[in-house]
Amino acid sequence: MAKNNKNISMAVIRRLPKYHRYLKELLDKEVYRISSKELSVMMGFTASQIRQDLNNFGGFGQQGYGYNVEELYREIQKILGLTITYRTVIIGSGNLGQAIANYTNFQKYGFKLLALFDTNPKLIGMKIRDVPVFDIDELQEFIEQKQVDIGIICTPKEFAQDIANKLVKTGVSAIWNFAPVDLKVPEHVIIENVHLSDSLFILSYLLSNQENF
Ligand SMILES: NC(=O)c1ccc[n+]([C@@H]2O[C@H](COP(=O)([O-])OP(=O)(O)OC[C@H]3O[C@@H](n4cnc5c(N)ncnc54)[C@H](O)[C@@H]3O)[C@@H](O)[C@H]2O)c1
């Protein structure tokens, strides 16, 4: 059984999605048992790192047996909260908002998309897959009525703080922010930023510092 998840460090938590992904691949290939050494070769972590990480939430490894892939996968799903259904909305229904809405995999992991919002009359009234795009003026009432958990911000950065304030006011618990700006929200609201350009610039640094480039 998992220990109290609150005691697991964020450094370990940030590695869990990678464990989740690799274990899912193993299950898809009908591999049900794996040693920390084999996992380490696959994932590029040391075997001792893997043992340390997985010891954080219960001893799943058995000497001479390795890890039970299915049990470990289920436990990591539980720790990551992926056994819960979340109600989400997207604010900003342009390129990125629509791409996220069209990516059905998030639904499979329990992130239910209820609606998108925008200010552009050409988009309002449209459906992305089967999900409606509403006027931003309807955001507050919608969130309160449908008890939305997560607001996904895909607007230009100039509007992102104002949208975040609106989301906080309606009582959402978490914000997934794609606008390239650091938003200010009260402590009780969870915020996770995805700054794609930060990652791209690291790639640029590595590439431009490569010998022979
Ligand atoms: N497209 C990408 O690959 C990408 C990558 C990284 C980051 N981002 C960031 O994501 C955000 C969206 O990018 P995009 O390419 O989808 O832009 P986009 O211009 O295609 O879409 C933005 C949408 O937000 C809407 N909008 C503007 N103000 C609004 C408001 N107050 N309330 C509700 N909707 C509003 C616009 O009408 C538009 O439909 C930007 O901040 C961008 O920097 C995008």
Tens digit of pLDDT at every position of the chain (213 positions): 344 566 788 899 999 999 999 999 999 999 999 988 899 999 999 988 888 888 887 656 666 778 899 999 999 999 999 999 999 999 999 999 999 999 999 999 999 999 999 999 999 999 999 999 999 999 999 999 999 999 999 999 999 999 999 999 999 999 999 999 999 999 999 999 999 999 999 999 999 998 877
CATH of domain 5-79: 1.10.10.10
Establish whether residue 94 lines the binding site of ligand 1, counting it when its CB lies within 6 angstroms of any ligand atom: yes
Q: What is the DSSP string of 104-159?
A: THHHHTTEEEEEEEES-TTTTT-EETTEEEEEGGGHHHHHHHHT--EEEE-S-HHH
ipTM above 0.90, yes or no: yes
Q: What's the 11 CA to ligand 1 centre distance in angstroms?
A: 30
DSSP state of 103: -
The CATH class given to the 86-198 domain equals alpha beta
Residue ranges covered by each domain of the chain: 5-79, 86-198
Residues at the annotated binding site for NAD(+)? 92-97
Establish whether residue 81 lines the binding site of ligand 1, counting it when its CB lies within 6 angstroms of any ligand atom: no
Establish whether residue 119 lines the binding site of ligand 1, counting it when its CB lies within 6 angstroms of any ligand atom: yes
